[in-house]
Amino acid sequence: MDSAIPISAINDFIFCPLSLYYHSIYSSFDTTVYHDKAQTRGKIAHETIDSAIYTTSSRILQGLSVYSSRLGIKGKIDIYNLENEFLIERKYHIRTIFDGHRYQLYAQMYCLFEANLPVRKMFLHSLKDNKRYEVELPDQNQQKKFEDIITSIHNFMIDSVKLHPNPAKCTNCIYHQLCNSNTYVNTT
């Protein structure tokens, strides 16, 4: 059994550790059953990358599968520019850069490092408004926080989760119907 953590799970775990469990419940379902508008827009935004039709330039790697044996993570990068060593993660719309966004880029960067592909700069690109935000390379403190999150995901046990419902998060969670914390959520 593959125990590598999908890079996409890092942001989910930070949002709510239980979302990893709920995602596994729905993993065999068609995504139309549980995705809301934001997830559907995100999936559509990645279609050009996933089908490798974003560009035909040989200096751009797109939708490249990556893996880190040191961290036990795997996933795909959106765009890596071989010429300037830029890593770009595309999102449908970015209003605020959260740790989960940064950690997704860090994960991709560490995977690229293991593949001997250096990263000089990292960016988040908001497709809706065509804005690009530079994400600083992690310092030692940020690297430790990131690695602690990865360790927490590897050690995640559903029965040890203590709920700390956050109405701002729970209301927008696509899994709130399944969660014990939904008693704290106004679903009307």
Domain layout of the chain by residue ranges: 5-181
Angle at 47 between CA 45 and CA 50, to 5 degrees: 125
How do residues 32-42 score in pLDDT, each as one tens digit?
555 556 555 55
**Alpha helical stretches, state H, the chain:** 8-15, 18-26, 37-45, 47-50, 99-114, 140-154, 167-170
**DSSP 8-state symbol, 136:** P
Give the strands of the sheet with 131-135, arranged side by side. 60-62, 79-81, 86-91, 121-126, 131-135
| CA-closest candidate to residue 78, choices 113, 111, 54 | 54
Distance CA 151, CA 96 (A): 25
How do residues 110-142 score in pLDDT, each as one tens digit?
999 999 999 999 999 998 999 999 999 999 999
Could you tell me if 63 and 78 are in contact, meaning their C-beta atoms sit under 8 angstroms apart? yes
Query: What CATH class is the domain 5-181?
Result: alpha beta
Percent of the chain scoring above 90 in pLDDT: 48
| CA-closest candidate to residue 45, choices 8, 77, 93, 87 | 93
How do residues 48-61 score in pLDDT, each as one tens digit?
555 555 565 679 89
How do residues 8-36 score in pLDDT, each as one tens digit?
889 888 877 877 777 777 666 665 555 55
pLDDT at residue 79 above 90?
A: yes
Could you tell me if 146 and 138 are in contact, meaning their C-beta atoms sit under 8 angstroms apart? yes
**DSSP 8-state symbol, 54:** S
Beta strands 79-81 and 73-76, pairing class: unpaired
Angle at 174 between CA 172 and CA 180, to 5 degrees: 90
In this prediction the pTM is 0.79
- Averaged pLDDT, 83-96: 93
Note the pLDDT of residue 11: 86
Distance CA 36, CA 38 (A): 6
Give 12's contacts (C-beta < 8 A, 6+ positions apart).
19, 20, 23, 100
